[in-house]
């Protein structure tokens, strides 16, 4: 793009501007952000209807005008990403869409984790946090929010089970999202307050109250609920560590009941992998043993007395509920949603030959090209030699790629040769979905939410 170089002229020498139009320099400030090498200028959007009243220009916002000017052009659309241009809109509205996308569109995310066993090196809290951040491939519009005192049911909760163990003598294993298994019938863990019953007809109470299996609902028949990606690392489990030379237990208690569990804490030495035991160990400065043991006062201790190891194990249930990103980022349906104003690179005069090549090399993202502009003549020793030379000129080939690094206007007077600008009402918008919904649906949902907000304001005012 080439434009006449701007020079300062006294106001009385300015050309006459037709009534109802702004002079070029004001029109430029109104519609463009000017990017000089130290800072951008004219960044504000001028909304006041009477801003140019003295020049006979009506600056008020008109719905009809907005309708005619507003355009959305999709540049790129994949399963998870979308890039589109929003043209003819104010920055405040573009930003409203961005904020709604990040913080106000709901998704399903793991909120409650019931840990039955965790002998891995990851603490329960860290494990629960990792699970919460796993994107789930499920349409949140099919679920209700869980409000206070609500029972977890098939319309507000999704339950997953995870059970992984590294066997003794096996190499270390990776536990990934692939291991998260959907439980369409709800929780399988018996409620801790529930008393054992002999009545075989009565249903044991678990941590959810599902009225039907979720996989019998029409929306999930051909669409099982799974994590969006099956290779996200949750934890690594090892085969355990070799233990020898037990000292006296600090807590000396055992059980005579075969079915019950016991727990000991020992100071010990840990050497290298192995133990044969049915029980579960977790290692640290102390050893904790928790599990069912046989009868006999010291049987538990005898088990501990033999050297050996057991593999690390994780067994848990994860309950996902509906929420929004402003409560916690795990519910945000987008990895990111962002925009930038359309860059505009303007050559204020022709840049030719050596200068053109220098400019071409200055730009790290290849905004400029060099075109051949035909033939010129060479003068050597004041003699005109009729030798034809190819001449070159710089052109702006890919202005959209400009990152506004300002490298091209650094150095001697380069800022007088070209101008970097941003178009104030043209936004290049990018949505990266986490996978619950495709990006184009996310955007239409965001439009709907903004519409509902506007309706709420109107009804409050009227
Ligand atoms: S500002 Fe940077 S990216 Fe943009 S045209 Fe200049 S050198 Fe290239």
Which pLDDT value is given to residue 191? Answer: 85
Residues 366 and 276 in one domain: no
User: Which three-class secondary structure string do you get for 222-266?
Assistant: CCCCEECCCCCEEEEECCCCCEECCCCCCCCCCCCCCCCEEEEEE
Which of 34, 367, 368, 414 has most ligand 1 atoms within 8 Å of CB, for mutation? Answer: 367
Residue 60 CB burial class (10 angstroms; 0-12, 13-18, ≥19): exposed
What is the distance between the alpha carbons of residues 249 and 17, in angstroms, rounded to a whole number? 95
> 29 C-alpha to center of ligand 1: Å?
21
Residue 170 within any structural domain of the chain:
yes
Which pLDDT value is given to residue 123? Answer: 94
Count of domains for the chain? 2
Domain that includes residue 367, residue range: 349-416
Answer yes or no: is the C-beta of 420 below 6 A from any ligand 1 atom. Answer: yes
> 341 C-alpha to center of ligand 1: Å?
14
Indicate the residue among 379, 401, 416 that finishes a domain: 416
Answer yes or no: is the C-beta of 345 below 6 A from any ligand 1 atom. Answer: yes
Answer yes or no: is the C-beta of 370 below 6 A from any ligand 1 atom. Answer: no
For 443-448, the CB contacts below 8 A with 24+ separation are 443/82, 443/84, 443/97, 443/101, 445/105, 446/97, 446/100, 446/101, 446/104, 446/105, 447/97
Residues 223 and 358 in one domain: no
What's 181's domain CATH number? 2.170.120.12
Residues 364 and 223 in one domain: no
Residue 163 within any structural domain of the chain:
yes
Which pLDDT value is given to residue 303? Answer: 36
Structure tokens at 200: 């075989």
Which of 347, 401, 406 has most ligand 1 atoms within 8 Å of CB, for mutation? Answer: 406
Q: Which of 412, 414, 406, 338 has the alpha carbon at shortest distance from 40?
A: 406
**DSSP string spanning 393-417?**
EEEE--GGG-----GGG-STTGGGT
Backbone angles phi, psi at 440, to 5 degrees: -70, -35
- Residue 122's pLDDT band, with cuts at 50, 70 and 90, is very high
Residues 188 and 227 in one domain: yes
Q: Which whole number is the average pLDDT over 12-20? A: 69
Residues 215 and 284 in one domain: yes
Answer yes or no: is the C-beta of 162 below 6 A from any ligand 1 atom. Answer: no
Residues in the chain, how many? 462
pLDDT at 177 over 60: yes
Residue 405 within any structural domain of the chain:
yes
Residue 165 within any structural domain of the chain:
yes
- Of ligand 1's listed atoms, the one at least distance from the Cα of 401 is 3
Structure tokens at 104: 């106000």
What is the distance between the alpha carbons of residues 431 and 82, in angstroms, rounded to a whole number? 5
pLDDT at 164 over 70: yes
**Percent above pLDDT 90 for the chain:** 59
Residues 280 and 401 in one domain: no
Residues 169 and 221 in one domain: yes
> 401 C-alpha to center of ligand 1: Å?
8
Q: Which whole number is the average pLDDT over 196-213? A: 78
- Residue 45's pLDDT band, with cuts at 50, 70 and 90, is confident
> 345 C-alpha to center of ligand 1: Å?
8
Residue 460 within any structural domain of the chain:
no
Residues 111 and 225 in one domain: yes
Which pLDDT value is given to residue 9? Answer: 66
> 146 C-alpha to center of ligand 1: Å?
50
Structure tokens at 151: 């029972």
Which of 394, 420, 421 has most ligand 1 atoms within 8 Å of CB, for mutation? Answer: 420
Give, in order, the Cα–Cα distances in Å from 175 to each of 132, 163, 165, 239: 15, 9, 9, 13
Residues 158 and 236 in one domain: yes
User: How far out from the chain centre does Cα 345 lie?
Assistant: 31
pLDDT tens-digit readout, 383-399: 544 445 678 899 999 99
Residue 173 within any structural domain of the chain:
yes
- Residue 105's pLDDT band, with cuts at 50, 70 and 90, is very high
Residue 64 within any structural domain of the chain:
no
Q: Which of 396, 415, 397, 416 has the alpha carbon at shortest distance from 406?
A: 415
What is the distance between the alpha carbons of residues 330 and 106, in angstroms, rounded to a whole number? 10
Give, in order, the Cα–Cα distances in Å from 385 to each of 376, 382, 423, 441: 11, 9, 47, 67
What's 389's domain CATH number? 3.30.70
3-state SS class at 214: helix
Residues 163 and 297 in one domain: yes
Residue 61 within any structural domain of the chain:
no
> 38 C-alpha to center of ligand 1: Å?
14
- Of ligand 1's listed atoms, the one at least distance from the Cα of 404 is 1
Answer yes or no: is the C-beta of 447 below 6 A from any ligand 1 atom. Answer: no
Which pLDDT value is given to residue 149? Answer: 86
Among protein residues, the one with the nearest Cα to ligand 1's atom 6 is 408
Answer yes or no: is the C-beta of 363 below 6 A from any ligand 1 atom. Answer: yes
Which pLDDT value is given to residue 201? Answer: 62
pTM of the model: 0.76
Count of CA atoms in the C-beta half-sphere (13 A) of 297: 1
User: How far out from the chain centre does Cα 401 lie?
Assistant: 23
Residues 298 and 400 in one domain: no
pLDDT at 353 over 60: yes
Indicate the residue among 275, 299, 331 that finishes a domain: 331
Q: Which whole number is the average pLDDT over 19-25? A: 81
Backbone angles phi, psi at 266, to 5 degrees: -125, 140
Which pLDDT value is given to residue 37? Answer: 83
Q: Which whole number is the average pLDDT over 321-350? A: 95
Which pLDDT value is given to residue 167? Answer: 86
Which pLDDT value is given to residue 162? Answer: 97
Residues 361 and 286 in one domain: no
Indicate the residue among 331, 357, 382 that finishes a domain: 331
Answer yes or no: is the C-beta of 394 below 6 A from any ligand 1 atom. Answer: no
Among protein residues, the one with the nearest Cα to ligand 1's atom 8 is 363
Answer yes or no: is the C-beta of 166 below 6 A from any ligand 1 atom. Answer: no
Taking a C-beta distance cutoff of 8 angstroms, is the pair 179, 164 a contact?
yes
What is the distance between the alpha carbons of residues 261 and 279, in angstroms, rounded to a whole number? 10
């Amino acid at each position: 793009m080439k434009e006449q170089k701007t020079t300062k002229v006294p106001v009385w020498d300015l050309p006459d501007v037709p009534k109802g139009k702004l002079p070029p320099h004001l029109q430029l400030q109104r519609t463009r952000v000017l990017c000089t090498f130290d800072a951008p200028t004219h960044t504000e959007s001028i909304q006041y209807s009477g801003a140019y009243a003295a020049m006979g220009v009506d600056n008020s916002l008109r719905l009809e005008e907005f309708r005619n000017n507003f355009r959305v052009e999709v540049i790129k659309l994949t399963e998870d990403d979308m890039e589109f241009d929003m043209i003819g809109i104010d920055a405040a509205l573009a930003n409203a869409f961005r904020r709604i996308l990040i913080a106000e569109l709901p998704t399903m995310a793991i909120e409650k984790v019931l840990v039955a066993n965790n002998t891995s090196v990851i603490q329960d809290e860290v494990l629960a946090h990792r699970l919460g951040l796993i994107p789930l491939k499920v349409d949140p519009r099919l679920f209700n929010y869980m409000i206070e005192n609500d029972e977890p049911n098939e319309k507000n909760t999704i339950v997953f089970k995870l059970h992984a163990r590294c066997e003794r003598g096996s190499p270390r294993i990776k536990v990934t999202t692939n291991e998260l298994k959907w439980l369409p019938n709800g929780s399988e863990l018996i409620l801790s307050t529930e008393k054992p019953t002999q009545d075989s007809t009565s249903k044991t109470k678990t941590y959810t109250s599902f009225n039907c299996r979720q996989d019998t609902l029409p929306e999930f028949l051909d669409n099982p609920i799974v994590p969006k990606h099956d290779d996200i690392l949750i934890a690594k489990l090892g085969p355990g560590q070799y233990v020898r030379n037990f000292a006296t237990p600090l807590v000396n208690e055992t059980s005579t009941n075969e079915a019950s569990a016991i727990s000991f804490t020992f100071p010990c030495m840990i050497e290298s992998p192995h133990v044969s035991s049915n029980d579960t160990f977790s290692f640290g400065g102390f050893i904790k043993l928790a599990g069912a043991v046989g009868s006999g006062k010291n049987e538990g201790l005898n088990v501990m007395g033999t050297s050996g190891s057991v593999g690390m194990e994780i067994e848990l249930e994860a309950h996902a509920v509906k929420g929004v990103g402003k409560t916690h980022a795990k519910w945000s349906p987008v990895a990111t949603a962002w925009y930038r104003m359309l860059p505009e690179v303007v050559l204020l005069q022709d840049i030719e030959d050596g200068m053109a090549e220098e400019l071409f090399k200055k730009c790290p993202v290849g905004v400029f090209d060099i075109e051949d502009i035909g033939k010129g003549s060479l003068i050597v020793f004041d003699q005109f030699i009729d030798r034809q030379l190819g001449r070159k000129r710089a052109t702006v080939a890919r202005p959209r790629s400009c990152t506004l690094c300002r490298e091209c206007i650094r150095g001697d007077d380069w800022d007088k040769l070209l101008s970097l600008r941003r178009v104030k009402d043209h936004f290049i918008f990018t949505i990266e979905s986490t996978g619950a919904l495709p990006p184009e649906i996310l955007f239409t949902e965001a439009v709907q939410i903004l519409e509902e907000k506007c309706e709420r304001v109107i009804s409050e005012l009227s």
